[in-house]
Every structure is written in C-alpha cells, then in structure tokens.
Structure 1
Amino acid sequence: MTPEQLRAFCLDFNDATEEFPFNPETSVFKVAGKMFALSALDAEPLSVNLKCDPDDAVRLREEHPAILPGWHMNKRHWNTVRVGELPDRMVRELVEDSYDLVVAGLPRAVRLRLDRP
C-alpha cells in the first residue's frame, strides 16, 4: 500500500477528514473530530497509528512483528502498523476497525448520521 492509497482509504469513510494539528508532515485522520489514524505519509518505512481494542492490540502485536505498541500514543489503545510489512487487505481491515471503534464511542445521533448504528 502506498502513502497515496493509505490517504485515499482513510478519507473514503463517512465524515473522514485529514488535518495537520502537529506539523505539516503528520496527517491526522478524524471522524466527527475524533482521531482514528495518524501517519507521517512521507516517512520510510510507511507506518500508521491506529486505535485498537486493548485485547486485540496485544494479540496482534504477538502475532505480527510489524504491529507495535502505538508510538507516542496510549499503548493500551493504539498500535503502530508498519504498512509495507503486512498484506494490504489486513492494513485496510485494521484501519476500518480503528474507524469503527472511534465511531462506536460517538453519540448515537452522530453514529446514525454516519450510518453506523
């Protein structure tokens, strides 16, 4: 997955936006103002921080050397995923899981607006 493909995939979700609150190099992808992905898209190797269920986070780290505790994030809820070391399908699933976790924490009215009850 290329940086352009990762950006496009993150922005394809309902109400997803890209912001640069930390610096011009770090893309922060949000839904309804809440972050679900963070990546320096120009970095080598390409990686992305994604929200994850705490139990799944530990299991994924144990099973995949390319999945690490979230860099500069709450290690219990965030993983850093080295994109090029995992199949594209798995990366897409992890991004979608992160988006869904964030949406699940939003108020019901917002979830309904996003078509994600």
Structure 2
Amino acid sequence: MHIEDFHQYCLSKKAVTEEFPFGPETLVFKVGGKIFALSGLDNPEFSVNLKCDPTYAEELRENYEEVQPGYHMNKKHWNTISFEGNLSEELLQKLIDHSYELVVKSLSKQKRLEFGLD
C-alpha cells in the first residue's frame, strides 16, 4: 500500500480528520478528536503507527517482522507497521480498521453521537 492509498483509505472512514499537530513532517488521522493513525513523512521507509489491542499487538509482532512496538508511542497499545514489507493490502487495511474501531469504541457515547458514529 502506497502512502496515497493509505491517505485515501483513512479519509474514507466516517468522521476522520487529517491534521499536522506535530509539524509538517507528521501526518495524523483522528476520529472524534483522537489519533488512530500517524506517519512520519520525512522517513525513507513508509511506516505507520496504529493503535492495537495489546494481545493482538503481541501476536502481530511475533508473526510479522514488519510489525514493531510503536515508535515514540505507548508500546503496549501501538504498533509501527512497515508498509513497504510483505504485508498484504488486505491485512494493512484490517490493521487500519482495527485502530479506527478501537478509538471509536473509546469515545464517549455523546462524542460518538456528535460525530455520527453510533
């Protein structure tokens, strides 16, 4: 999956915003004001930090060398995924979906209603 595809896939999700809160070199996607994906644009290798259930995160790290503990993130809840490795586009989309859904579930009922996510 190329960065353009990643960008379009994230923006296709409901109530997603694209921001640069850490400067022009870090692309951030939020749902309901909370981050679910971020990527450094100045890295030679395209990788993305995605939120992940801790048990699933460990399983992914054990099975795929492209999945590492989240760089500059809480390593229990975030993975850094290399999008230039051998992971299928289907799996990459599944990991983006998983991150998005975890963040949506963490929003208050009021926030989910406000953003049309309930």
Matches for 1:76-115 after TM superposition, within 5 Å = 76-85=76-85, 86-112=87-113, 114=115
Cα distance in 2, alignment partners of residues 20 and 80 from structure 1: 18
Q: Which runs of 5+ in 2 are unaligned?
A: none
Cα distance in 2, alignment partners of residues 107 and 12 from structure 1: 22
Q: Which runs of 5+ in 1 are unaligned?
A: none
Counterpart contact for 2:32–2:115, Cα < 8 Å: no
The TM-score with structure 2 as length reference comes to 0.92
Cα distance in 2, alignment partners of residues 88 and 45 from structure 1: 17
Q: Which amino acid aligns with 2:40?
A: A
Query: Cα RMSD between the aligned structures?
Result: 1.4
Cα distance in 1, alignment partners of residues 94 and 115 from structure 2: 19
Instruction: Report the equivalent of 1:18.
Output: 18
The TM-score with structure 1 as length reference comes to 0.93
Query: Quick check: 37-46 or 16-25, which moved more?
Result: 37-46
> Percent identical across equivalent pairs?
49
Counterpart contact for 1:3–1:41, Cα < 8 Å: no
Query: Quick check: 58-67 or 37-46, which moved more?
Result: 37-46
Shift of 1:116: 4.5
Counterpart contact for 1:25–1:42, Cα < 8 Å: yes
Counterpart contact for 1:46–1:83, Cα < 8 Å: yes
- 1:5-63, CA deviations, whole angstroms, 9 ceiling, x for partnerless residues? 10111111111011101110110100011000000245321100000000100110000
Cα distance in 2, alignment partners of residues 59 and 116 from structure 1: 29
1:67 matched to 2:63? The reply is: no
Shift of 1:114: 5.0
Cα distance in 2, alignment partners of residues 92 and 113 from structure 1: 26
With a CA cutoff of 8 Å and minimum separation of 6, indicate the structure with the bigger relative contact order: 2
